Amino acid sequence: MLAGKRIVLGVTGGIAAYKAVEISRRLVDAGAHVVPVMTAGAEHFIGATTLSALASEPVKTRLWDDPDTPIPHTRLGQGADLILVAPATARVIAAYRIGLSTDLLTNVLLATRAPVMMCPAMHTEMWEHPAVVDNIAALRDRGVHIVDPESGRLAGGDTGAGRLASPEVIVAAVQRLLSPGDMAGLRVVISAGGTREPIDAVRVIANRSSGKQGYALAAEAAERGASVTLVSTVDLVAPPGVAVQRVETAAEMQSAMERLAPVSDVVVMAAAVADFRPVTAVDRKLKKHDGVPQIVLEPTPDILAGLGARKPRRQILVGFAAETDDLEANARRKLDEKHLDMIVANDVGAPQTGFQHDTNAVTIFSPDAPAFVVPLADKRTIAAAVFDRVVSMRVSAHPT
């Protein structure tokens, strides 16, 4: 519920501006006080009267609208619990990234300490333009909450990525951000990325895991109030508030996980751990003229199975499974054999899922429960679905 929350809803000039009316209505229905701010561009797409009617106050458009409040940008920003920009055009994203204030909305964005959530909407070419990609990455690094656009029909009959996320998704993201974290007080450890097993001083056996799913899990858990440590093999930017323990090999990951897991309430093994490693790593570079080397492999320890065997009571242990066939049978077998509470299985052969993509599609299995399918979505949405289930598992295991 959003009772008592004050949300400045910034609406910029895109065809999706009409959806801001529905977003405003839903936020007001959930109890929020919505203060609408429209840019000059937005006024070309929707009437201020419509938005005013479904918000909590009349629309504000200019810095000098209100004779009683000559500097509304500071008042609006200071009093807000959230600044939500939906839709956010490439222009407002760029202006906010570089700190350029040209109108009431950009002034409000700069004159606030409230969290900011931006919901981009634009044509695919614009969304994928390196300048926009770069601006979005910079804003994310700064802690701005970005609700990724969807793929679908765009203005002018085109189809592709860039359509504003649906009002349901946007309002759910707002609710998650503003409600007291349902993971507050929980200690969570998450492994991310693929391990690298040395062959010699320069070569490794690696895999294609990008670590993106693990980082999305960490960002989600931290935002829901958990205290999160990532045990990671990759150098992605750590989500705000997340501690990172950098590791390289399965052995290093094992010792970090075994140190952190016993004091954690939730453990997620999202890393792609090598199953085999060279028995010995040569400490110099193997030379081509010495001939083709014989690399003898040995199995790595199954970190997750070890954590399952020593799982403290009340801990929730989550594994991942990348499968190419017999998804359910393989996932349920691992769930059972490794003593897991949940396994998140993805079909790595399917389009847009798994390694290196920004999206994933998974099926979540837990003992004695039907499979729960999360269709193709960004990795943050997958993370939210995983932790929704973790939270409900804890509640049903230990009702208050």
264 contributes a contact to ligand C5P by CB under 6 A: no
**Cβ-based nearer residue to ligand C5P, 320 or 387:** 320
Per the structure block, which two tokens stand in for 48? Answer: 């201020």
Q: Are 249 and 256 in contact (CB under 8 A)?
A: no
| Least distance from ligand C5P to the Cβ atom of residue 191, Å | 6
The 221-250 site mask, x for binding ligand C5P (CB under 6 A), equals -----------------------------x
Q: Find the binding residues for ligand C5P in span 330-389 (CB under 6 A).
A: 334
Residues 374 and 359: their CA atoms lie apart, in Å, by 11
Closest by CA to 189, choosing from 272, 270, 308, 300, is: 270
| Least distance from ligand C5P to the Cβ atom of residue 370, Å | 21
95 contributes a contact to ligand C5P by CB under 6 A: no
Number of residues that bind ligand C5P (CB under 6 A): 13
Per the structure block, which two tokens stand in for 356? Answer: 């290196």
Strand pairing partners for 294? none
186 contributes a contact to ligand C5P by CB under 6 A: no
Closest by CA to 363, choosing from 384, 349, 342, 387, is: 342
The 303-322 site mask, x for binding ligand C5P (CB under 6 A), equals xx--------------xxx-
Q: How far apart are the first and last CA of the chain?
A: 20
300 contributes a contact to ligand C5P by CB under 6 A: yes
| Least distance from ligand C5P to the Cβ atom of residue 335, Å | 10
273 contributes a contact to ligand C5P by CB under 6 A: yes
Q: Are 205 and 197 in contact (CB under 8 A)?
A: yes
| Least distance from ligand C5P to the Cβ atom of residue 52, Å | 51
55 contributes a contact to ligand C5P by CB under 6 A: no
51 contributes a contact to ligand C5P by CB under 6 A: no
For 333, phi and psi rounded to 5 degrees?
A: -65, -45
| Least distance from ligand C5P to the Cβ atom of residue 51, Å | 47
To the query of whether residue 360 is one of the catalytic residues in this protein, the response is: no
327 contributes a contact to ligand C5P by CB under 6 A: no
**Cβ-based nearer residue to ligand C5P, 11 or 250:** 250
**Cβ-based nearer residue to ligand C5P, 235 or 336:** 336
Closest by CA to 170, choosing from 379, 374, 23, 349, is: 23
The catalytically annotated residue of 107, 135, 207, 360 is 207
**Cβ-based nearer residue to ligand C5P, 96 or 320:** 320
Strand pairing partners for 272? 194
> Contact with ligand C5P (CB under 6 A): which of 275, 348, 358, 393?
275
Q: Are 177 and 82 in contact (CB under 8 A)?
A: yes
| Least distance from ligand C5P to the Cβ atom of residue 230, Å | 13
Element (H, E) at 44: helix 42-45
Instruction: For CA atoms 257, 254, 334, 354, give the dihedral sign.
Output: positive
**Cβ-based nearer residue to ligand C5P, 46 or 322:** 322
Strand pairing partners for 159? 153
| Least distance from ligand C5P to the Cβ atom of residue 245, Å | 15
For 119, phi and psi rounded to 5 degrees?
A: -120, 90
CB atoms within 10 A of CB 302: 18
Per the structure block, which two tokens stand in for 181? Answer: 């974290």
Q: By the criterion CB under 6 A, which residues form the site for ligand C5P?
A: 250, 269, 271, 273, 275, 300, 302-304, 319-321, 334
Show which residues are catalytic: 207
